[in-house]
Amino acid sequence: MALFAAAGFAQARVTGDAAVLANAITALQGAGPPLDVTTTSFTPSPRDTVPGTLDDKYTADRGNISPSISWTRGPAGTQSYALLMEGVDVVDGHPVMHWVMYNIPSTVTTLPEHVPAELHLENDALKGAMQVKLQGSAGYYGPRAPSGATRWYHFEVFALDTRLNLDPASADRQAVVNAMKNHVLTSGEVIANATGK
């Protein structure tokens, strides 16, 4: 079982380096522990400390390839994982999406660097996972912070007790978030920053 914190989940906001969605989830007593989300692509840091810095190759200004993200296995009943990478609009505080992937098989606990930019992933372990379109193409869209400005980015992984029945060709962040409601068993995140060139 899982429970999203009441009202406001769908419109979760972020200020500073607070979590966008992970803070909006409350695990029921007896639920699994938080996922330990890690990466070999940058040096992660705990929440509320200086976050790890993304190399230029992970930004939209340079290589625009997705970093490697790993997490501990979800609790019993995990049927799939979802990953959202979100930044924050410093003007209105709303989430800015950079990556939305769902139906990651429950046997997978690592995304390699440079996940293909495809709606439906068919490569080996990731077969069946789906990515929504961002900025006109499927998959990861790296940060593009204003010149000289540093922004924070949250890689959030959710263990779900179901697979999401969504068409990635028409789905967006909100559709994925809505479909996840009442299905999150636990979650975790790792935070990174990037400075605009």
Q: What is the pLDDT of residues 106-151, one digit of tens each?
A: 999 999 999 999 999 988 889 999 999 988 889 999 998 888 888 8
DSSP state of 65: P
CA distance 68 to 128: 19
pLDDT band at 179 (very low <50, low <70, confident <90, very high): very high
- Does 28 have pLDDT greater than 50? no
- Does 27 have pLDDT greater than 80? no
62-95 per-position pLDDT tens digit: 889 999 999 999 999 999 999 999 887 665 667 7
Comparing C-alpha atoms, which of 106, 84, 99, 97 is closest to residue 161? 106
- Does 170 have pLDDT greater than 50? yes
pTM: 0.84
- Does 166 have pLDDT greater than 80? yes
